[in-house]
Amino acid sequence: MKNTNSRNAKPLAMLIAGLLGGMAYGQETTLPTVVVKGSAPKPGSQGSVEDAYRVPSVYSLGPLGTAKLLDTPNSISILPEALIENVQATSVKEALKYIPLAQFQEQQGSEVLRPATRGMQGSNYQNTRLDGMTIFVTGANALEQLQQIEVFSGLPAAVYGPANPAGMFNFVTKRPTADPLRRLNLGYGSSSILTAHADLGGKVGDSEVVSYRLNLLGANGTAYVSNSELERKLASLAVDVHPSQDTTVEFNYSSYDMTQKGYPGWFTYGQKIILPAAPDPTKVGFGQSYAGVETKNQSGSVRLLKDLGSGWHLVLGGLAQGVDRNINTPVNNLTSNAGNYTSSLANGFAPHFGITSNIAYLNGAFNTGGISHDLTLGTTGFRAITNAVFNAATAANVLLGSANIDNPVVFAEPAVGLPNVSAQYRSSIASQQGINISDTIAFSRQWSVKLALSQDWMKTSNFNKTGAQTSAYSANGFSPMPSLIYKPRDNVTTYLTYASSLQQGDIAPAGSANANTGLAPYRSKQWEAGVKVALAKLDLSLALFRLERPFAAVDPTDNTYKTSGTQSNKGIEATAVGELTDHLVVYGGVTVLDPVMEATGNPLTNNTQYVGMPKVKSNLLFEYRLPSVPSMVVSFDWQYTAKRPGDDSNLFWSPSYSVFDLGARYTARLMDKATTFRLALNNLSDEHYWSTIGPSNLTGANTGNMTAHLGAPRTVAASMSIDF
């Protein structure tokens, strides 16, 4: 990828405004809905401000189709489009903050991360979907093209196929609108990031056959660090074709470019180094103006939705995605407890990912005697490729210099320039395909049983730069998930669910004796008991769980990456979404977690708390509509994270932190057009904190070193949305 220079976003805003001026004006409409399961209708207005962000059903639980949240015997959270817009989130990291049951582990920048639930880290691709089909997540992802984010907590294999026990994150694209939609969003972010976003939709001509949704975005400017740069460009198009009343064909294409330069790099440290208090992230020198992350994420997909009659529905889909990455973010390696560090450019991270994935399922309802069945037969799978750089830069060529965390230094660019990632070879191919079966058997209005399982086949091959295969494995197995459901009332669901989940083994990291070798598949287990209540204006949920997974690490005795113990997480999750009073809305919850490492073989790490995982994490967002000024809404958000262990032996801890945000929005008619103004002050107290702390041997980035990333400082965000 070529380097890009900073450009002002104002010309793009003027161009979009000019284009909109020549279009037919229309009013804001709700999104249309395609219902693929008669027992679970999905209203188009779900998640709106009027509904207090309540979402009664998911868009796609993989091969299990749509489903009412109240009736699913699993913990599921949904972040709707209206909330994403109102909090002015622009990245997955910012969005996940508002989902209290979700976590994430940052990788090579704030836009490159792996999402997680229940203290278990996700993979590059096994735990993320786009409209139900597998995608790579460790490239930048644009929120402006999404209708909602769905989070399935815990073990997802019986629903989605083998995956890390980190849950499943399904990104749902915006669908075309039945009536004309002409919306222009102009935004400002600290310290000079300007954004122009056009969201357009409607029918093509006078026909009822074709409708579209087009999202165009341009953003550019300086972030909270002097001499930094953020540039984002998005073009996303969704087209729905209705050849008949009972058939819909969905087409989607998206291209998203993101460049970050000058942002703070991340810190690494060994087992004998104590992580210091988080410094001020606005200080120049933790990152370098010429170094950062460049990513390009392109995807295309098609889905066929067919109503077969008599309550039966068919869905067929395919997706292709390519992610290109040029990563040269500074890595600041702490070398002493006095805060000294040596800075080098990141090197050796995968420069390209590619994936093709598929989904197909048939579902419907029928009776056998006095027993009703809700049956689904489906399949889902993928083929994923990863590239590596032919000739990784030497340590000397990426070395920047040494400094102290209290006095960061601006280093000169290496004399040989930034690492070159253009010469690549295919380092691994992973494929997976499975058959999914689910049947919800209702014996009465109160009692039912849900039986779900998947039988999956997996294969992984690894190659060196000559093209020779260095290792390979293939395996197959099944992942069951039975549930017992009891509904004492129509608006209350209690359940008990057991899951046994297969997942692909981790890849041994660079530097280990078995580097780039895939381990045999893991099997994780989980018990979950929960209750869900749908009140007139408020949805409540509570879940208790115990989750276990094998843990792999580099054995220091032989430098081999191998399964070395078990991560056992027990906890409680609670959420509340909806209206507390006629004027007060809540969206939030809390996770109480006990993440323990067991049977590690090392007395120093056995029965210790997992690195970087807090015992308490919560986020509470409140919105209050002023009774005297109904068009004015003020918001307050409180994010809390308890103290976290900074090393495997729990010899030191990073302190707890709280981040407070304050916001307001006002809706009015501007030139007779519906207009919304939004203003937010994030991190009100300018808290300095480590946003994530992680063990690198689990991510595969290093062998033994931990990582720490800085959270954002106090920032300002403002925007104006106009519906033409």
Domain annotation covers residue 295? yes
The CATH code of the domain that includes 646 is: 2.40.170.20
Domain annotation covers residue 2? no
The span from the CA of 421 to the CA of 423, in Å, is: 6
Q: What's the CA angle centered on 365, arms 362 and 371, to 5 degrees?
A: 140
What is the per-residue pLDDT across 503-527, written as a single tens digit (0 to 9) for each? 877 777 767 888 767 777 888 999 9
In the chain, the percentage of residues whose pLDDT exceeds 70 is 91
Looking at residue 442, its pLDDT comes to 96
Residue 630, Cβ density class (10 Å: 0-12 exposed, 13-18 middle, ≥19 buried)? exposed
Residue 85's identity, in one-letter code, is E
Query: Does position 4 have pLDDT exceeding 50, yes or no?
Result: no
Question: Domain range spanning residue 105?
Answer: 10-723
Query: Does position 23 have pLDDT exceeding 90, yes or no?
Result: no
Residue 469's beta-bridge partner residues?
463
The mean pLDDT value for 255-260 works out to: 96
Looking at residue 34, its pLDDT comes to 33
What is the per-residue pLDDT across 198-248, written as a single tens digit (0 to 9) for each? 999 999 988 889 999 999 999 999 999 999 999 999 999 999 999 999 999
Residue 389's identity, in one-letter code, is V
Structural domain count, the chain: 1
pLDDT category at 704 given cuts 50, 70, 90 is low
Looking at residue 106, its pLDDT comes to 87
The span from the CA of 504 to the CA of 514, in Å, is: 17
The mean pLDDT value for 698-704 works out to: 40
The mean pLDDT value for 124-147 works out to: 94
Query: Does position 44 have pLDDT exceeding 50, yes or no?
Result: no
Domain annotation covers residue 470? yes
Tracing tokens 């006078």 back to the chain, one arrives at 206
What is the per-residue pLDDT across 435-472, written as a single tens digit (0 to 9) for each? 999 999 999 999 999 999 999 999 989 899 999 998 88
Question: How far are the Cα atoms of 384, 465, 521 from residue 469, in angstroms, in the given order?
Answer: 16, 10, 19
Looking at residue 370, its pLDDT comes to 87
Q: Is the preceding peptide bond at 244 cis, omega within 30 degrees of 0?
A: no
Domain annotation covers residue 1? no
Both ends of the chain: CA-CA distance in Å?
Answer: 37
Domain annotation covers residue 324? yes
Domain annotation covers residue 18? yes
pTM of the model: 0.90
Domain annotation covers residue 4? no
Which of the listed ranges 413-427, 578-592, 701-715 does the model predict with the highest average pLDDT? 578-592
- Residue 70 DSSP class: G
Domain annotation covers residue 57? yes
Q: What is the DSSP secondary-structure string of 223-270?
A: -SSTT-EEEEEEEEEEEEEEEETTEEEEEEEEEEEEEEES---EEEE-
Looking at residue 516, its pLDDT comes to 67
Rounded-to-5 percentages of helix, strand, coil across the chain: 5, 55, 40
Looking at residue 29, its pLDDT comes to 33
Residue 490, Cβ density class (10 Å: 0-12 exposed, 13-18 middle, ≥19 buried)? exposed
The span from the CA of 23 to the CA of 433, in Å, is: 46
